Amino acid sequence: MKRLLTFAFILSSLVINLPLQAASIQPKRGGTLTLAVSKELALMNPLVNTSSTESRIRELMFEPLLARDTKGAIQPRLAESWEISKDGKLYTFRLRKGVKFHNGKELTADDIKFAIDYTLNPKNGAYGLADLDAVEKAEAIDKYALRISLKKINPLFLTVLTDIRAFSAIPKESLPEGMRKPSTFPPGTGPFKFVEWKPGQRVVFERFDDYWGEKAHVERVVMREIADATVRFSALQAGDVDIIERTPYEWVQQIVQGKIKGIGYARANIAGARNIEFNAADPPFNNKKLRLAIAYALDKREIMQAAYFGLAETSDQRFPKGSIWYFDVPTPKYDPGKAKALLKESGYNGEILELMGNRGEVAEIEGAAIQAQLKKIGVKVELKIFERASALEARRQGKFMFKLAGGSDYPDPLPAYEEYACEPDLRNRRLNESGYCDKEYDALLRSAELEMDLEKRKALFKQVVAKLVDDSPFISLGFTPRFFAFRDYVKGFTTNSSGDFQPFGGGLSRAWINK
Amino acid sequence: MLGSYVVRRLLQLIPVLILVSLAVFLLVRVIPGDPVSVMLGIDPDERGRISEEQYRVVQHQLGLDRPIYVQYLNWADKIIHGDFGLSLASRRPIFEIIFERYPATLYLTATALFVGLIIAIPAGVIAAIRQNTRLDYAAMGFALWGVAMPDFWFALMLIVLFSVKLGWFPSIGYTSPFESPVLFLQHAFLPAIVMGTNWPLP
**pLDDT tens digits for range A460-470:** 999 999 999 99
Are B61 and A179 an interchain contact pair (Cβ–Cβ within 8 Å)? yes
pLDDT at residue number A269:
85
Residues 6 or more apart whose CB falls under 8 angstroms from that of A125 comprise A48, A179, B39, B40, B54, B57, B58, B61
Greater pLDDT, A419 or B47 = A419
Q: Give Dmax over CA atoms of chain A in angstroms.
A: 72
Q: Which residues contact A21 (CB under 8 A, 6 or more apart)?
A: A488, A491
Q: Which residues contact A296 (CB under 8 A, 6 or more apart)?
A: A332, A333, A334, A335, A336, A338, A339, A342
Q: Output the pLDDT for position B31.
A: 75
- Residues in B closer than 8 angstroms to A408, CB to CB, are 45-46
**How confident is the model at residue A1, as a pLDDT?**
38
pLDDT tens for each residue of B172-199: 888 888 888 898 999 999 999 888 887 7
Give yes or no for residue B29 having a pLDDT over 60. yes
Query: Would an 8 Å CB–CB cutoff place B29 in contact with chain A?
Result: no
Three-state DSSP at B174 gives coil
Q: Smallest Cβ distance to A230: which of B51, B156, B173?
A: B156
**Position A268 pLDDT exceeds 80:** yes
Show residues of chain A in contact with B159, CB under 8 Å: 231, 234, 238
Instruction: State the average pLDDT over residues A163-179.
Output: 90
Q: A386: Cβ–Cβ under 8 A, 6 or more apart, which residues?
A: A356, A357, A358, A359, A394
The pLDDT value recorded for residue A19 is 46
Which residue from A minimizes the CA distance to B97?
A199
pLDDT of residue A321: 85
Cα separation, A369 vs A381, in Å, equals 11
| B51 contacts in chain A (CB < 8 Å) | 122, 129-130, 133
**A433: buried, middle or exposed (CB in 10 Å: 19+, 13-18, 0-12)?**
buried
Q: What is the 3-state secondary structure (H, E, C) of A227-266?
A: CCHHHHHHHHHHCCCCEECCCCHHHHHHHHCCCCCCEEEE
Cβ A476 vs Cβ A513: under 8 Å = no
pLDDT given for residue B201 in this prediction: 57
Query: Using CA atoms, how far apart are residues A297 and A362, in angstroms rounded to an integer?
Result: 21
Whether pLDDT at A146 is above 90: yes
Distance between CA A22 and CA A360 in Å, rounded?
40
With a CB-CB cutoff of 8 Å, which residues 208-237 of chain A face chain B?
224, 226, 230-231, 234-235, 237
Determine the residue of chain A that is closest to B42 in CA distance: A50
Q: Name the residue in chain B with its Cα closest to that of A7.
A: B46
The distance of Cα A403 from the centroid of its chain, to the nearest Å, equals: 21
Give the type of residue at A422.
C
Distance, CA of B134 to CA of B132 (rounded, Å): 7
Interface contact A175, partner B, CB < 8 A: no
CB distance B140 to B128 below 8 Å:
no
- Does residue B172 sit at the A interface (CB-CB below 8 Å)? yes
Going by the DSSP 8-state scheme, the letter that residue A106 receives in this structure is B
Q: Within an 8 Å CB–CB cutoff, is residue B160 touching chain A?
A: yes
Please, which pLDDT band fits residue A7 given cuts at 50, 70 and 90?
A: very low
Please name the residues in contact with A484: beta carbons below 8 A apart, sequence gap of 6 or more.
Answer: A243, A244, A245, A247, A265, A266, A268, A493, A495, A499
Number of residues in chain B: 202
| A369 and A308 Cβ atoms separated by less than 8 Å | no
- Tens digits of residue pLDDT in A354-368: 999 988 778 899 999
Any idea of the CA torsion for A16, A19, A25, A26, to the nearest 10 degrees? 0
Whether A241 and chain B come into contact, CB under 8 Å, resolves to: yes
Q: Phi and psi dihedrals of B120, rounded to 5?
A: -75, -45
Res. B98: pLDDT tops 90: no
Which among B65, B67, B69 is positioned nearest to B21, based on CA atoms?
A: B69
Helix A439-449 crosses helix A454-471 at what angle (to 10 degrees)? Answer: 160
> Phi, psi at residue A25, to the nearest 5°?
-70, 135
Q: Are A167 and A58 in contact (CB under 8 A)?
A: no
Split at pLDDT 50, 70, 90, the class of B86 is: confident
A34 φ, ψ to 5°? -110, 120
Please give the C-alpha separations between residue A298 and each of A11, A295, A303, A312, A348, in angstroms, as whole numbers: 28, 6, 8, 16, 17
Instruction: Name the more confident of A291 and B43.
Output: A291
Question: Are the beta carbons of B164 and A233 closer than 8 angstroms?
Answer: no
pLDDT at A237 over 90: yes
The pLDDT of residue A13 is 35
Report whether pLDDT(A175) > 50.
yes
User: Are B173 and A201 an interchain contact pair (Cβ–Cβ within 8 Å)?
Assistant: yes
**Mean pLDDT score, B46-56:** 70
- Chain A's closest residue to B86, CA to CA, is A180
Average pLDDT over residues B161-166: 90
- Name the minimum distance, in Å, from the CA of A439 to any CA of chain B: 20
Higher pLDDT, B89 or A133: A133
d(CA B33, CA B37): 8
Burial class (CB in 10 A: 0-12, 13-18, 19+), B3: exposed
**What integer pLDDT is reported at residue A439 of this predicted model?**
95
Which of B49, B56, B163 should one mutate to test binding to chain A, selecting the residue with the greatest count of A CBs within 10 A? B49
Q: Is A237 in Cβ contact with B51 (below 8 Å)? A: no
Out of A42, A133, A200, whose CB is closest to B51? A133
Cα angle: B50, vertex B54, B60; to 5 degrees = 125
ipTM of the complex: 0.75
Summarised one tens digit per residue, pLDDT across range B54-73 is: 788 888 888 888 888 999 99
Is residue A10 over pLDDT 50? no
Main-chain phi, psi angles of B146, to 5 degrees? -60, -40
Using the predicted structure, report yes or no on whether residue A275 has a pLDDT greater than 60: yes
Which of A3, A123, A388 shows the shortest C-beta gap to B49?
A3
Question: Closest chain A residue to B34 measured between Cα atoms?
Answer: A389
pLDDT confidence tier of residue A3, bands split at 50, 70 and 90: very low
Residues of B in contact with A181 (CB under 8 A): 90-92
Contacts of B87 in chain A (CB under 8 A): 42
Length of chain A: 515
Instruction: Say how far apart CA B33 and CA A391 lie, in whole Å.
Output: 10
Percent of chain B scoring above 90 in pLDDT = 14
Q: What is the pTM of this model?
A: 0.83
Check whether B51 has a pLDDT greater than 80.
Answer: no
For A125, which of B32, B40, B86 is closest by C-beta distance?
B40
pLDDT category at A98 given cuts 50, 70, 90 is: very high
> Residue B48: what pLDDT?
58
B52 touches chain A (CB under 8 A): no
B160 contacts in A (CB within 8 Å)?
A: 234
Averaged over B84-105, what is the pLDDT?
Answer: 82
Q: Is the pLDDT of residue B118 over 90?
A: no
Above 50 in pLDDT, residue A276? yes
Lowest-pLDDT range of A235-249, A304-318, B81-95? B81-95
How distant is the Cα of A223 from the closest Cα of chain B, in angstroms?
11
Interatomic CA distance for residues A138 and A142, integer angstroms: 12
> Which burial class, exposed, middle or buried, applies to A409 when counting CB atoms under 10 A from its CB (0-12, 13-18, 19+)?
buried
- Phi–psi pair at A270, nearest 5 degrees: -125, 50
User: Residue A241 pLDDT > 90, yes or no?
Assistant: yes
Q: pLDDT-based confidence at B44, cuts 50/70/90?
A: low
| A184 in contact with chain B, both atoms CB, cutoff 8 A | no
Q: Residue A24 pLDDT > 60, yes or no?
A: no
Q: Do A199 and B100 touch (CB under 8 A)?
A: yes
- Residue B163 touches partner A, C-beta closer than 8 Å: yes
Helix H or strand E segment including A373:
helix A363-376
Q: Do B57 and A199 touch (CB under 8 A)?
A: no
B-chain residue closest to A407, CA distance: B45
CA distances from residue A488 to A45, A501, B89 in whole angstroms, order as listed:
34, 18, 36
Query: Are β-strands A220-225 and A192-198 bridged in parallel, bridged antiparallel, or unpaired?
Result: unpaired
- Predicted pLDDT of residue B176: 86
Backbone phi, psi, residue B8, to 5°: -60, -45
% of chain A residues with pLDDT over 90 = 70
Over the range A344-373, which residues count as b (16 or more CB within 10 Å of their CB) and which as e?
Answer: eebebeeeebbbbbbeebbbbebbebbbeb
Q: How confident is the model at residue A138 (pLDDT cuts 50, 70, 90)?
A: very high
The residue-averaged pLDDT of A401-413 equals 85
pLDDT reported for residue A85: 93
B32 contacts in chain A (CB < 8 Å): 387, 389-390, 392-393
Residue A15, pLDDT > 50, answer no
Give the whole-number percent of chain A exceeding pLDDT 70: 94
The SS3 assignment for A470 reads helix
User: Which of A175-184, A218-227, B140-149 shows the lowest per-residue confidence on average (mean pLDDT)?
Assistant: A175-184
| Local confidence band at A515 (pLDDT 50, 70, 90 cut-offs) | confident
User: Which residue, A173, A161, A186, A200, is CA-closest to A79?
Assistant: A161
- Whole-number CA gyration radius for chain A: 24
Cross-chain Cβ contact A42/B90 below 8 Å: yes
CA-to-CA separations, A387 to A130, A395, B32, in angstroms, rounded: 27, 12, 9
Within 426-485 of A, beta carbons closer than 8 Å to B belong to 429-433
Interchain proximity A201–B174, CB inside 8 Å: yes
* Residue A57 with chain B: CB contacts under 8 Å: none
The per-residue pLDDT for A372 is 95
Please return the burial class of A206, using the count of CB atoms within 10 Å of its CB with bins 0-12, 13-18 and 19+.
Answer: middle
- Interface membership of B150 toward A (CB under 8 Å): no
What is the pLDDT at residue A71?
A: 64
Interface test with chain A among B54, B96, B157, by most A beta carbons within 10 Å: B54
Q: What is the pLDDT of residues A33-81, one digit of tens each?
A: 999 999 888 888 999 877 788 889 999 999 999 998 766 678 999 999 9
